[in-house]
Structure 1
Amino acid sequence: MAEADRDAERRDRAVTLRDVAAAAGVSVSTASRLLDKRYEGSSPGNARRVREAAERLGYTRDYAASSLRRQGTSTIGVLVPRLSDAVMGILYEEIARECERRDVQALVATTQDDPAQGRRAAASLLSRKVDGLIMTTARLDDGFAEELRAARVPHVLALRTAGDSPSAVTDDRLGGYLAVRHLADLGHRRIGIIAGPRYASSARARLEGALDGLREAGCDLDDDLVRGDGFSVEAGEDAAGDLLDAGIAPTAIFAVTDHAAIGAMAAAARRGLSVPGDLSVVGFNDIPLARHLPTPLSSVRASLDLIAQASVRMLVDGETSNLVFPPTMIPRASSGPRAAG
């Protein structure tokens, strides 16, 4: 069927956003975003095709329906473990910024990574009639996300996954792999890993990716080289202390967060070791502090801005995708060649 005939067929019925997206060769979510006047400056080529298709087909945006999708309150709840964590603080700021662009208000609640407190915080937000939840607190040892799905509560998981809920995350396994391969390429063969809590999908995947990298590079695979179960500076310092005080200490450490990596650098300094002369260190997330340390920290960069934007879009537009954003290895002064000897 010719394009003109398809256009005529569409005009014989109510033209939908899906019709416009198909005619312009983009996804429905992209068409929706590019028809929003607040995004007139983005993706000029796609935007022109979408608007030309809408005009040709006689499409008129139904703002009432859009409002109904948000159930009328234009407010979303955001659950984070704590705002004192730089990653969570940055992500929430990006979420709030995207909400402002969409005329949506964000309300935040903290859980201290405690499942019971997380349920109470979610109940409090839902009692305020928020249209849905963005959660950075998903746990593999807790069925809360499944409970929300069963109750038909709109929600999106950010940074961590659990079950079949819509999510926007970093490719954590790839990030762990990139970190270890970076160290292996510098000549390190005995690489310690500071792991995070096993209930967090992000920590598990980063550990799995790191082990992938160790196996591929032919590095030592020793259970004694994996330590730690927390994301904090204190957890990182304790875990690094265990690694450095072992019989055969590692020449490099990969920590699954920048905070834990900073703790590892502190542990090295307490033992009179230099970074990277005696010990190379790599973290994960690339928080702003990483590049401003006396010895700037090598880190795997996560696209927190893209994750935040996608989380808001998915919740507001009712998308049910599982989006994975690629990480980038950022080498800095904290990682260097293995010392001879």
Structure 2
Amino acid sequence: MTLKTIATEAGVHVSTVSRALRRAAQDGTNATPGDIRILEIAEALGYVPNPNAASLTTRRSHSFGVLVPQLTDAVLATVYDAVEETANAAGYATFVANTRDDPVEQLRQVSLLLGRAVDGLIIGDARLDNNNIEQIASRGIDVVLVNRRSGAAVHSTSDDILGGDIAGSHLINLGHRKLGVIGGPSWVSTTADRLSGFRAALSRHGIPFADEAIRYEGFDAAAGRRGMESLLASGTPPTGVFVMNDEAAIGALGVLRDRGLTPGEDVSIIGFNDIPIARELFIPLTTVRISLRQMGVRAVESMLTLIHGLPTSSSAQPPELVVRATTGPAPI
């Protein structure tokens, strides 16, 4: 039984259940008839109030801390907007901190947020190459990861393995055999998982793929430009390139423009995320779409569930291929 189970039974949103249970767990004077009804439904389903709930007003701030590498990233900005909106609807404020993907800065920002007595941390800058998330969780704070995964921590992400598989399959189906990848750092789960899915698609079709065709650059336009320039300068330049972020894909498209190459004809490019500008480009970007907003919503719903002492699990948004003009048949 989860917070969502209660919400479904009561016919209300998860955030409404969270507010009702919190008010009902206090002295009862602020609880509305609707709150009492929701509490009765929850108890009928087997809900046992969190023993800390009654002291929320004195021990907690009704706020979440949110850590991101940089909020100027279009993907993270969209996710954070959904996090803030969903948290606010449940009666929680959010404090966001940029860490620049620096593990030392991450721990410093966590300490500052804990100093604000936040009720939980939603972390968007988890890495695979350290144990920071385990360290943070050991401090007794509820933690939910968003956009990235790490260890056994509860996370709200996209199905990155399937998304990478979809990207690889699309290029293969168009006849491309000389393929390249432009990803983020190797210690980011989105890079590792999308690459894993891409490799799986190629393996099913018996297409060899060497590590030399991978560029670990980053997720912004400058990173995409560096990666594409490097791939085109290699001994076997690719005809099809999977770029693991739409902003990076835009940088890669800029390189093709500068060299007089036509996307979808000379070189095919497929991105990931489907940020709004992707469909508005002069040559609209083929990409793998995921619901960034739903990723943020699910992160908050998981956090609310943890705060109320209920079980929750990780979630992954399903990816969807969106074919536009930057991919086409492999050149003969």
**TM-score normalised by length of structure 1:** 0.82
Measured in 1, the distance between the counterparts of 2:133 and 2:263 equals: 41
User: Which residue does the alignment assign to 1:45?
Assistant: none
The structure 2 residue matched to 1:236, chosen from 224, 230, 237, is 224
Distance 1:118 1:61, change over 3 A: closer
- Opposite residue 329 of structure 1, the aligned amino acid is L
The structure 2 residue matched to 1:194, chosen from 169, 182, 200, is 182
- Opposite residue 328 of structure 2, the aligned amino acid is G
Deviation at 1:175, TM superposition (A): 0.5
User: Which residue does the alignment assign to 1:31?
Assistant: 5
User: Which residue does the alignment assign to 1:282?
Assistant: 270
Contact kept? 1:161, 1:201, Cα under 8 Å: yes
User: Which residue does the alignment assign to 2:31?
Assistant: none
Measured in 2, the distance between the counterparts of 1:296 and 1:245 equals: 25
2:322 matches 1:330: yes
- Opposite residue 326 of structure 1, the aligned amino acid is P
Cα-Cα RMSD: 2.8
Measured in 1, the distance between the counterparts of 2:92 and 2:2 equals: 20
Task: Report which structure shows greater RCO (CA 8 Å, sep ≥6).
Answer: 2
Deviation at 1:227, TM superposition (A): 1.6
2:323 matches 1:339: no
User: Which residue does the alignment assign to 1:54?
Assistant: 41
- Opposite residue 30 of structure 1, the aligned amino acid is K
SS at match of 1:254: strand
Measured in 2, the distance between the counterparts of 1:168 and 1:100 equals: 19
Contact kept? 2:60, 2:117, Cα under 8 Å: no
2:151 matches 1:163: yes
Stretches of structure 1 lacking an aligned partner (at least 5 in a row) = 1-26, 42-49
Distance 1:160 1:272, change over 3 A: same
User: Which residue does the alignment assign to 1:24?
Assistant: none
- Opposite residue 332 of structure 1, the aligned amino acid is R
2:152 matches 1:178: no
- Opposite residue 29 of structure 1, the aligned amino acid is L
- Opposite residue 198 of structure 1, the aligned amino acid is S
User: Which residue does the alignment assign to 1:11?
Assistant: none
Query: Which of 1 and 2 has greater Rg?
Result: 1
Deviation at 1:67, TM superposition (A): 6.2
SS at match of 1:285: coil
Count of aligned pairs: 306
Measured in 2, the distance between the counterparts of 1:153 and 1:284 equals: 32
Deviation at 1:301, TM superposition (A): 1.3
Measured in 1, the distance between the counterparts of 2:43 and 2:65 equals: 39
Deviation at 1:306, TM superposition (A): 1.8
Deviation at 1:142, TM superposition (A): 1.7
Distance 1:203 1:123, change over 3 A: same
1:99-110, aligned counterparts within 5 Å? Answer: 99-110=87-98
SS at match of 1:284: coil
Distance 1:40 1:311, change over 3 A: closer
SS at match of 1:33: helix
Deviation at 1:284, TM superposition (A): 0.8
2:67 matches 1:111: no
Contact kept? 1:191, 1:220, Cα under 8 Å: no
User: Which residue does the alignment assign to 2:21?
Assistant: none
Deviation at 1:37, TM superposition (A): 5.2
Q: Deviations over 1:265-316 (max 9, x none)?
A: 1111121111111011001111111111111111111221221111111112
- Opposite residue 100 of structure 1, the aligned amino acid is N
How much identity, in percent, do the aligned residues show? 34
Contact kept? 1:190, 1:219, Cα under 8 Å: no
SS at match of 1:134: strand
The structure 1 residue matched to 2:289, chosen from 294, 301, 306, is 301
Measured in 1, the distance between the counterparts of 2:79 and 2:305 equals: 20
Distance 1:223 1:198, change over 3 A: closer
Contact kept? 2:146, 2:295, Cα under 8 Å: yes
Stretches of structure 2 lacking an aligned partner (at least 5 in a row) = 17-36
Measured in 2, the distance between the counterparts of 1:336 and 1:58 equals: 53
- Opposite residue 187 of structure 2, the aligned amino acid is Y
Contact kept? 1:69, 1:316, Cα under 8 Å: no
1:204-283, aligned counterparts within 5 Å? Answer: 204-283=192-271
- Opposite residue 31 of structure 1, the aligned amino acid is T
User: Which residue does the alignment assign to 1:124?
Assistant: 112
- Opposite residue 32 of structure 1, the aligned amino acid is I
Measured in 1, the distance between the counterparts of 2:198 and 2:55 equals: 45
Deviation at 1:198, TM superposition (A): 1.1
- Opposite residue 299 of structure 1, the aligned amino acid is T
User: Which residue does the alignment assign to 1:13?
Assistant: none
Deviation at 1:149, TM superposition (A): 2.1
